[in-house]
Amino acid sequence: MRRMFWMAVGAGATVWTINKANRVARSLTPGSLADSAAQGAVEIGGAVRSFAGEVRAGMLQRELELNRELGLDGSVLALPGPDRPVLRGIAAQRADKPFEISPAAPSTSTDITPYDRNEDH
């Protein structure tokens, strides 16, 4: 009885090993390798498309934020009176609070050198 048991275990192990070896041999054929490479390319393409979509969505969101901050979304407020500044974005939202806008100081810098394309760097 003991010999029959070990013979059955050996036969089962042999069948399992042969099946496993056949599966590995089939997976290493040129057609199977080409199929798995094509499947990998499809998966990479999907990931790239997904990433591009996320980047586009982020760009759109940031563009809307910048437009809102700069007042390009229609939230421009012009203060009444002559020579009054035009407030945009966040400044327009805070127009009810007192504030002073100082004029920009005139530029007195004369140390600007002209650009010479032929100059060696």
pTM of the model: 0.43
- Separation between Cα atoms, residue 33 and residue 24, nearest integer Å: 11
Q: Which residue has the higher pLDDT, 3 or 86?
A: 3
b/e code 48-80 from CB counts within 10 Å (16+ = b): eeeeeeeeeeeeeeeeeeeebeebeeebeeeee
User: Looking at the predicted structure, is the pLDDT value of residue 71 above 80?
Assistant: no
- Separation between Cα atoms, residue 101 and residue 29, nearest integer Å: 76
Q: Would you give the DSSP letter of residue 88?
A: -
- Separation between Cα atoms, residue 86 and residue 79, nearest integer Å: 6
User: Looking at the predicted structure, is the pLDDT value of residue 21 above 60?
Assistant: yes
Percent of the chain with pLDDT over 90: 41
Position 100 scores a pLDDT of: 55
Q: Which residue has the higher pLDDT, 89 or 13?
A: 13
